Every structure is written in structure tokens, then in C-alpha cells.
Amino acid sequence: MKKENVLITGAAGFLGSHLCDRFIKEGYHVIGMDNLITGDLKNIAHLNSNPDFQFINHDVAKHISIEGDLKYILHFASPASPIDYLKIPIQTLKVSSLGTHNLLGLAKAKNARILVASTSEVYGDPLVHPQTEEYWGNVNPVGPRGVYDEAKRFMEAMTMAYHTYHGLETRIIRIFNTYGPRMRLNDGRVLPAFIGQALRGEDLTMFGDGSQTRSFCYVDDLVEGIYRLLKSDYTQPMNIGNPSEITIKEFGEEIIKLTGTKQKLISLPLPQDDPKQRQPDITKARKILGWEPKVSRAEGLKITYAYFKSLNKDELNKVEHKSFEKYVK
């Protein structure tokens, strides 16, 4: 019996590569697409000889042609960290606008269901806490983070337009902070930054006084939520994340304890428009999908730390601290 085809964009990225693994495990033939602007072929190297995996090096902002049928499309192509979208702002805008338009058109042509990866960043620096799907957000469209935040908000609007006008089967996930193996150590996000600094024997740098909060979801939990949402009948945006909230200062102290580093936490100026609070309300995910996180932060961090420790010295020493300097207050 011929296996059904699934197209996953951003396949060589952190989340995309884990999704490739999951859909192959579920019995699908996976077509992975990535232009490798932030993705890394090492993340999918273990799939090279797998007959159920095919890789296409392509930019989704350009016309997309796929032979044969498609059952599902999962759009996870996008820079996803501040360092990336401050460095490549135009590409960040294009992948979630032109790229989403191309993939929605492909889904329509193939009669495929499409799930697009939105983000908690659509809430901006929120005035509502925790963030529910009904909250419209507090976003600065012309600030340094606007290229990512507004691109994702446009992605949601276009996806819903295709759903309501064309009757296309669409799903929208709003992803909150996620971590695990295959994260880039130098991507500028707090978890790899802290662990990388600890491994290099550097002080851990937090922005501001560390009172801002984040909620961290382990990648396996997120992938399970994505899979359930795709298979569900729910068409409105849905939060998927871990509601266990922690301050950045407390998180830094957890990393110091986990890694056994002798270094200390130091404070740098807060970047412009940095969200002060981030915590998902996952009432809908619990009720509609029967989903909630299973992996504790302590357990997930141990696995992630072991992964980062396994990297070679060249990878460990690739840092891009200076990318933030002109954006701090």
C-alpha cells in the first residue's frame, strides 16, 4: 500500500526535523523542504538513507512544485530567533507572507490540509496574562521584532482567508518557547545562550533584571500537540506550550545548578520590545485535543544539556552576542 505524502517546510530546522521523525514514525512518506538559511542538514542526516524521506533544497518564498498527491502540509519554515530575524529581516517577512501564500495555493491545488506554525509573538509584549487565543496582542509593527511578529500575524490572516473563502482545511498553532536537542547553540534564545555560556565558562548574561518570565515546553510535548491539532477538526488558532512560568533570573539559576558552572548571572540592557511576560493559557488544547505537557523542565533540561555537551568545540564557540547591541535600550 502506497504511503501518504506529507510536506514539511523548515525540515532541517529544530522543530521541522523532529516533525519529520514523527511523521515517518506514523507511517507517512515525508518530503522535507528547506533553503538552509537557518536550518542544518545535520539535523536530518539520520534520515538520508530512509526510503520514507525525501529532501528538497528550496525557498518557499519562490514558486513551489511538488509531484504527486499531498495529504498534509506543515509550514515550519521561518527564522525563529531574534538574532536570525534581526540579521535577515526581509527573508523573515517573505517566508511567512509569500511562502505562506505559495503553500496555501499548493494545499488548494492538492486538496491537502495545511497546518501553519504561528507563534506566541503574535501577542507581542502582552497586556493580558496568561495569554488566551482571544487576546489580540500588543505588537510594535515597526520595531526590530516587527518583521517576525507581523509576518506571523499576516500568516494567520491569510490562512483564515483561504479557509473562509476557499473552504481550505487549515490549522493554526501558536507555539510558545520550546527547547530540546537540535536547537542551535548560537541562535540567541535564552536557553541555548545560558547553556552555551556555562559550557564555555562564561558568565550567564540575562537582559534587564531577569524579572521577565518565559514558559518552556520540551520538543516532544510540542510535537505531540502539533500532531493532535493537525488531526483535529479545530480551525481557529490554538496555543501549544507549557504553562509552567519562570523568571529569567530563576531560570539562569537553574542552569547554573544543572551545569555545575562556577560562573554567575550578570545583567545587560533590555532589548527593545522584549516581552515582559510569556505564559500560554492551554485550556483549549486540554479540552479539545486532550493535550498537555508531560515532560518536566528538570527532565527536559537534562536531555538538552547532554545534547549541547556532545557538540564539538567549533560549534560551542560560534557565538553572535553582538547582533543585539544596537537594539538594546
Show which residues are catalytic.
Answer: 148
DSSP three-state, residue 95: helix
∠ CA 121-127-133 to the nearest 5 degrees?
A: 55
End-to-end CA distance of the chain: 59
Residues 282 and 243 sit within 8 Å (Cβ to Cβ)? yes
Distance CA 242, CA 312 (A): 30
∠ CA 280-115-50 to the nearest 5 degrees?
A: 110
Distance CA 70, CA 31 (A): 10
34, burial (CB in 10 Å: exposed 0-12, middle 13-18, buried 19+): buried
Distance CA 33, CA 9 (A): 5
